[in-house]
Amino acid sequence: MISLDLPIEKLHHVGPRMLPRLRRLGITTVGDLIRHFPARYEDFSNVIEIGAIETAGEVVSVQGEVVKIETVRSWKKNITITSAMVSDASGGIRVVWFNQPYLEATFPIGTLVSLSGKVGLDKRGLFLSSPGYEKISQAELRHTGRLVPIYPETEGVTSKYLRFLIKPLLDYFTDIPDPLPPDIQTKYNFPDYTSALKAIHFPVKLADAEPARKRFAFEELLLLQLRTLQDRAAMQALAAPAIAFEKELIADFVKSLPFTLTNDQRIAAFEILKDISQPHPMNRLLNGDVGSGKTVVALIAAYQAAHAGYQAIFMAPTELLANQHHATISDLIPPGISLGLLTGSKKIHPDADIIIGTHAIIQKGVTFKKLGLVIIDEQHRFGVKQRMKLIKEQTLVPHLLSMTATPIPRTLALTIYGDLDVSLIKEKPKGRQEIITRVVPEEKRPEAYAFIEEQIIQGRQVFVICPRIAPSSEGAKSKLLLAEMKMVTEEYEKLSKTIFPHRRVAMLHGKLKSKEKDQIMSDFKAKKYDIIVATSVIEVGVDVPNATIMMIESAERFGLAQLHQFRGRVGRGAHQSYCFLFTSSPEIAMTRRLKAMEKTNNGFELAEMDLKIRGPGEFTGTSQSGIPDLAMASLSDLGLIKQAREEAKTLLKDDPTLARYPLLRENLARLQRIVHFE
């Protein structure tokens, strides 16, 4: 008897070698296994007969038997050449691989292989040149003409092995209980669970997989929504200080500011003030482009809290930013409200009404007397754990406001950020200059340097950003840091020794201690350097109004949202500012993606584009979050997300604990275990 919760090690063919590998994929039970979905399908129905190969240059897929194989070494060219003859009933073809001598042992005579690749021609005739290959079994050969599922790749677990495990299970189970409530099933006309499983793993044609895929995506999105809504409800069940909104007080404060608030700033402030007047904790995200003026909005709420006798803390990701906020806020806050500063190196008035600091505030286990509001800058999400740390001494849970300049597309706001309320600041304060952005072709580089020199002569400053290198494998983080550092160091050497030897150039990278980084940034701010060469560590909110040039190397390696963040480092003062994008090859310079940077200064537009092009994992850094693949893939489908949200609301309204849907509840618990948002 095989049941869905049977541990996979009970299956034949899952031995001690494969078990840990499967577990790494999150597969521990038979149920997990059949819910491990293919990422795509390989279409072997296009396999042609070997005898039908006619022209050099065409790309073909063939299957046949290895009838001859040998490897020779070409001493002249210092390469090895493995040649095989592969035949089917219609004929034979020569196959050639270079520098893969082990293939001789992989494909002994008699092996059945599936090959796809390009047809080449030399003096001995047509041949297949270094084709992709897969050994196949007789059984599968008989199944040519079908779609073969290809599963997400992981070291040591091949698609072939997974097919081999999953196929018999799907034949075995004929009626698996469906976790989706029957009403939903009918309403959306989804295929039933068992046939959907068969169709997603082994579709006869691609069109059969689609409804199945949609059904499972919907189910995963529904689970995400249920989780989010339950988290919200749990938060709403807690008690927070109700901080009454004193309209006159706030109106007077707003009048005292050196500028007029934008409409969006007003609305956001109002939403926040309304939230904190409730006896339940606020959980709100303030999302606004760089320079949109989030700080003052948060300050309005902090002022209201302080005036009502509650402490507010304001956390920034770095000491530099904390100092920066402390300076700005000191200028704006009315008398009578005390300000504190708490960072790794400074501790001024730690029991003030408003305390500005870094994460040192929570790490040091400082206790607060009457904490009413927590503001987190430059972070999309404040971990539940971190929040718990803060509330341990409190009888009431403080309200939480997080702020980010990373534009969050609506689809993501409704899913992975769905437990947060979002306030948006879309318009910038009046009179802000547009930054001029150009993708610069390599031959124009000297011109760009000349332009930079001119800006420096006029007293301006320059950022140079070096690329981030994609980690090649897991655990490559430290290698990555090293590689980044190497690039920065080389660029630094080049600029400081060859191009701008007469200028003061500094270097900033992730290997430096945060104190050293802060020091360099403070010195840059104090105009002790003309040029700063940095990795992406520069990204968050530093304010250097005198900097007018942002120059980015290998810009194609960054996401649009991130490029936009970099660009936001300039254009913060009175001077016209520029963003120059360089690419590692001329073709890339022409791509639409980078050209979009020239066209728009609107972070939201760029973020939506990024989401479409690169997918949500890259975009949010959630690729490791454990969010189910299909849900992930559907994170751009606003329609489907909205439907799932509505259905989740309806379900929870009648049945907050999902008592009537035990399977759904079980899957939700499983999701709870694997999804980690931090």
Q: Is 340 in the site for ligand ADP (CB under 6 A)?
A: no
Q: Are 619 and 561 contacting, i.e. CB atoms less than 8 angstroms apart?
A: yes
Question: Pick from 225, 228, 230, 292: which binds ligand ADP (CB under 6 A)?
Answer: 292
With CA atoms as reference, report the closest residue to 374 among 241, 265, 263: 241
Which lies closer to Mg ion via its Cβ, residue 541 or residue 571? 541
Least distance in angstroms from the C-beta of 262 to ligand ADP: 5
Interacting span for ligand ADP (CB under 6 A) from 73-81, 120-128, 185-193, 293-301: 293-301
Least distance in angstroms from the C-beta of 656 to ligand ADP: 37
**C-beta nearest to ligand ADP: residue:** 293
Question: Pick from 281, 293, 407, 603: which binds ligand ADP (CB under 6 A)?
Answer: 293
Q: Is 291 in the site for ligand ADP (CB under 6 A)?
A: yes
Interacting span for ligand ADP (CB under 6 A) from 10-18, 292-300, 412-420, 578-586: 292-300
Q: Is 379 in the site for ligand ADP (CB under 6 A)?
A: no
Exposed (0-12), middle (13-18) or buried (19+): which is 610, by Cβ within 10 Å?
buried
What would the x/- binding string for ligand ADP be over residues 403 to 442, using CB under 6 A?
Answer: --x-----------------------x-------------
User: What span, in angstroms and rounded, lies between the C-alpha atoms of 646 and 639?
Assistant: 11
Choosing among Mg ion, ligand ADP, none, which partner's interface includes residue 616 (Cβ < 5 to 8 Å by kind)? none
Q: Is 401 in the site for ligand ADP (CB under 6 A)?
A: no
Least distance in angstroms from the C-beta of 202 to ligand ADP: 51
Interacting span for ligand ADP (CB under 6 A) from 29-37, 165-173, 206-214, 283-291: 283-291
What is the residue type of 9?
A: E
Question: Pick from 196, 290, 408, 606: which binds ligand ADP (CB under 6 A)?
Answer: 290
Q: What are the beta bridge partners of residue 154?
A: 157
DSSP letters for 111-127: -EEEEEEEEEEETTEEE
Phi, psi of 546 (to 5 degrees): -80, -10
DSSP E strands, 234-338: 283-288, 311-315
Least distance in angstroms from the C-beta of 324 to ligand ADP: 8
- Positions in 601-660 near Mg ion (CB under 5 A): none
Q: Specify the 3-state DSSP secondary structure of 669.
A: helix
What is the β-pairing status of strands 339-342 and 354-357? parallel
The token duo for 579 is: 């963003």
Which lies closer to Mg ion via its Cβ, residue 149 or residue 541? 541
Choosing among ligand ADP, Mg ion, none, which partner's interface includes residue 262 (Cβ < 5 to 8 Å by kind)? ligand ADP
Which lies closer to Mg ion via its Cβ, residue 286 or residue 641? 286
Instruction: Count interface residues toward ligand ADP (CB under 6 A).
Output: 16
Which lies closer to ligand ADP via its Cβ, residue 63 or residue 406? 406
Which lies closer to ligand ADP via its Cβ, residue 82 or residue 295? 295
Q: Are 347 and 402 contacting, i.e. CB atoms less than 8 angstroms apart?
A: no
Phi, psi of 118 (to 5 degrees): -90, 145
Q: Is 294 in the site for ligand ADP (CB under 6 A)?
A: yes
If you ran DSSP here, which 8-state letter would residue 92 be given? E
How far is CA 53 from each of CA 86, 89, 93, 128, 654, rounded to the nearest angstrom?
13, 13, 8, 10, 64
Least distance in angstroms from the C-beta of 375 to ligand ADP: 11
How far is CA 147 from each of CA 38, 313, 529, rounded to the nearest angstrom?
11, 57, 61
Least distance in angstroms from the C-beta of 378 to ligand ADP: 8
Per the rule left: phi > 0, alpha: psi between -120 and 50, beta: everything else, 396 is beta
Least distance in angstroms from the C-beta of 333 to ligand ADP: 13
Q: Specify the 3-state DSSP secondary structure of 366.
A: coil
With CA atoms as reference, report the closest residue to 194 among 216, 225, 210, 165: 216
What is the β-pairing status of strands 125-135 and 505-508? unpaired
User: What span, in angstroms and rounded, lies between the C-alpha atoms of 236 and 234?
Assistant: 5
Which lies closer to Mg ion via its Cβ, residue 165 or residue 425? 425
Choosing among Mg ion, ligand ADP, none, which partner's interface includes residue 131 (Cβ < 5 to 8 Å by kind)? none
Which lies closer to ligand ADP via its Cβ, residue 150 or residue 261? 261
If you ran DSSP here, which 8-state letter would residue 44 be given? G
User: What span, in angstroms and rounded, lies between the C-alpha atoms of 295 and 328?
Assistant: 9
**Cβ-Cβ contacts under 8 Å for 641 (sequence gap 6 or more):** 221, 225, 411, 414, 415, 634, 635
**Cβ-Cβ contacts under 8 Å for 36 (sequence gap 6 or more):** 25, 26, 27, 151, 162, 166
Least distance in angstroms from the C-beta of 285 to ligand ADP: 13
Q: Is 568 in the site for Mg ion (CB under 5 A)?
A: no
Interacting span for Mg ion (CB under 5 A) from 25-33, 82-90, 534-542, 577-585: 534-542
Which lies closer to ligand ADP via its Cβ, residue 87 or residue 600? 600
Question: Pick from 295, 311, 343, 423: which binds ligand ADP (CB under 6 A)?
Answer: 295
Please state the length of the chain: 678
The token duo for 318 is: 């770095």
- Sheet containing 399-404: order of strands: 347-348, 339-342, 354-357, 311-315, 371-376, 399-404, 283-288, 421-425
Q: Is 31 in the site for ligand ADP (CB under 6 A)?
A: no
With CA atoms as reference, report the closest residue to 357 among 345, 373, 372: 345
Q: Is 541 in the site for Mg ion (CB under 5 A)?
A: yes
- Positions in 242-261 near ligand ADP (CB under 6 A): 259-261
Which lies closer to ligand ADP via its Cβ, residue 116 or residue 406? 406
What would the x/- binding string for ligand ADP be over residues 72 to 101, using CB under 6 A?
Answer: ------------------------------
Which lies closer to Mg ion via its Cβ, residue 131 or residue 541? 541
Interface residues with Mg ion (CB under 5 A) are: 541
Interface residues with ligand ADP (CB under 6 A) are: 259-262, 265, 288, 290-296, 405, 429, 541
